[in-house]
Amino acid sequence: MGHVLKTTFLLGLLTFLVVFCGYALDGLQGAGVAFFVSCLMNFGVYWFSSKIVLAMHRAQLLLEEEAPEVFEIVRNLSAKAGIPMPRLYMLPSASANAFATGRDPQHAAIALTHGIVGLLNREELSGVLGHELSHILNRDVLLASIVATLAGALSRVASMARWSFLWGGERDERDSTHPLAWVLASILMPLIALLIQLAISRAREYAADQRGAELCEEPLYLASALRKIDITSQRLPLRDADPATAHLFIVNPLSGKGGCSLFSTHPSMEDRIARLEVMKP
Would you please indicate which residues are annotated as catalytic (active-site) residues? 132
Distance of CA 223 to the CA centre of its chain: 20
Q: Name the strand (E) or helix (H) holding 107.
A: none
